[in-house]
Structure formats: structure tokens, C-alpha cells
Amino acid sequence: MDSSLTGCARAEHFHAATPLLESWALSQVAGTTVFLKCENVQPAGSFKIRGIGHFCQEMAKKGCRHLVCSSGGNAGIAAAYAARKLGIPATIVLPEGTSLQVVRRLQGEGAEVQLTGKVWDEASLKAQELATRAGWVNVPPFDHPLIWEGHASLVRELKAALGTPPGALVLAVGGGGLLAGVSAGLAEVGWQHVPIIAVETQGAHCFNAAVKAGRLVTLPDITSVAKSLGAKTVAARALACTQELEIISEVVEDVQAVSAVQQFLDDERMLVEPACGAALAVIYSGLLGRLQAEGRLRPSLASVVVIVCGGNSIDGGGLQALKARLGQS
């Protein structure tokens, strides 16, 4: 790749400024205005491109010659996309059971795909081993200050679009990168008083377990269908954020998350992952109203922003299979 082109690519960020849409259907359920921050329309399909794009650009400036990432979900696709934009080769290491759909998507971005081990932890060890090669850099899916710095851009866009702070902000937690980035962004724009409702599914609830224990907790296994929330241990920074901002940690059932995915598809004609369904379930399941009734949120909220985090690993057939597995017709 021409070095002047590479320089140009490095100068601009790779994420898009995403739409903030008012949802009539969700507003009716919530009894207040609900805005959707549509990260599902990012060029790499999820919010991950904000932080991972930023991380990859910074590594390129330092002379990185090859990027490696051990996520087959949104992080891996973001890393492969950023690598293609930078003209740097990428290797994505995935567990052996990864779907052909994901492998093809990564290869379509120009990445080399290696299948290693039965679970992500084994793929991660392989990626770390590859990253010891000269000029190779391992891309962390969520746990790095540059990742959080990149994700903070989402809040700057919210401030530009809304002007005044929302009454609450809803997001899903996996490894905690989005939570850490949004927390940093709220502090940056002077909105640190805005409560964050941080949602996980039961069986992928490492943040909630850590909040309750007051220390990091490693889950024995990920049993939730929301696989992209599947970190066994949350980033330490995410737990630290609970000391700095008002963060309400909540857990929903898989059934509620998948039901929210179907309802959102019907209401907004957008198909998202169960991980994103977890955040939407705060509205659809009535959890928002319960938090208000319990006095944990103000009884009247000016507006609520839900971060629609992404939908790479879902299609119509996948949604039907999830519903069948959970006994939903």
C-alpha cells in the first residue's frame, strides 16, 4: 500500500458517527422518550470499531506490522476491518466450532483465520503466542485504555445530538469495554451525573457478580445464549467505574433478551444480537419502570438512551433457533 495512502487512513478514525433515532414504540412502553444510538450500523457491524479502530491506528503509528485478535465476534471483525483500512495483515484466531458465516466474513475483510482449541480461552493463548513475533501486536477485545478512549467518542456524539443530558443511559456489559468507555465519555462532557443501567444476561453476568462481591469474580462458565457477552471476568476498570459514576447493574434472563430481539425486529425492522437484546429488555420487560418504582431512578426521566450495540452474529434462522431452544414459539 502507498505510504501516503496509509498515512491518510491513519489520520481519520474508522468508525461512523451513528444515527440517534427516537423510537416511538419503545417510548410508548417506557412512558418517556427513548432514543436509540444505532451502533449496529457501524461499518464493522458494532460499537467495537470505535475502540479497536483507535487501538489499531495507534499501534500502526508505533510500527506494528501484523495485527492478531482472538475474537470471532464483533471484536475480531472490527480488528480485521481496521487492519484492511490500514493495509496491515491480520490474523484472527478462533475456536474450532466457530460458524462458517463468521469465518467467511473475516476472510472477506482480508484476514487470515486460524481455528484453535475448543473455547475462546485456548484461542486467546494462541493469539498471545503469535503476538510474541517481531512487529506483531495482539488486539485486546475490551481491556485496554486505548479501547476505552475510542469508545468515549460515542458520548461526544450523544452530546452533540441531544445538547441536554438524558435521564438515563442503557448499555449491555460483556467484558466491560463499552461501560469503561462510556463512563470516560460522560466524565469528559460533564455528564457524570447521568445514571448508567448496565445489563447482562444470567449466565454471562461477570460484572454483576463483581459488583455484588466488591471484587473481580471469574464465572465458572458462560451458560447464556448471549455469547458476545461471554467474558468470564469483567475488566477491572469497569468495576472501578462504579466508584466514580452512578451505575445500576442489572441481570435479565436469556428469554427476556431474545424476546426483546424479536420485539425490536417487529417494532424497528432491525435485527440485533441477544447481547443487544439484553439492553433493550430493560425497556420491553418493564425493568425501567421497576427501577423508578423502587426509587433507584427518578420517577420522571427527560429521556432514555439505549445503546444498540450490534448484530453481527445473528440472522433470521439464528433467531428462530434461539427461540426454539428457549421454548418461545
**What dotted CATH number matches 48-138?**
3.40.50.1100
Domain 20-47+144-324, what architecture? 3-Layer(aba) Sandwich (3.40)
- Return the C-alpha cell found at 140: 485486546
Virtual torsion, Cα 245, 251, 252, 254, nearest 10 deg = 120
Question: Is the per-residue pLDDT at 318 higher than 90?
Answer: no
Domains of the chain by residue range: 20-47+144-324, 48-138
**Which pLDDT value is given to residue 9?**
41
- pTM of this structure: 0.91
Q: For residues 309-322, give the mean pLDDT.
A: 86
Mean pLDDT score across all residues of the chain: 91
The CA distance from 56 to 64, in Å, is 9
201-212: average pLDDT = 94
Residue 259's H or E segment, with its range, is helix 254-268
Question: Strand 20-23 vs strand 136-138: parallel, antiparallel, or unpaired?
Answer: unpaired
Q: What is the DSSP letter of 313?
A: T
Q: What pLDDT is recorded for position 221?
A: 83
**What's the confidence (pLDDT) of residue 72?**
64
Write down the pLDDT at residue 1: 38
d(CA 117, CA 93): 10
